[in-house]
Amino acid sequence: SWEKVGLENSEHIGKIVVDPRDSDVVYVAAQGPLWSAGGDRGLYKTTDGGDTWTPVLEISEHTGVTDVVMDPRDPDVLIAAAWQRRRHVWTLVSGG
pLDDT tens digit string along 41-52?
Answer: 999 999 999 999
pLDDT of residue 89: 62
Q: What is the pLDDT of residue 83?
A: 86
User: What residues does each domain of the chain span?
Assistant: 13-83
Query: What b/e sequence results for 36-70 when a residue is b if at least 16 CB atoms lie within 10 Å of its CB, and e otherwise?
Result: eeebbbbbbbbeeebeebeeebeeeeebbbbebeb
Q: How far is CA 58 from the centre of its chain?
A: 9
Confidence at residue 6, expressed as pLDDT on a 0 to 100 scale: 87
Q: What is the pTM of this model?
A: 0.84
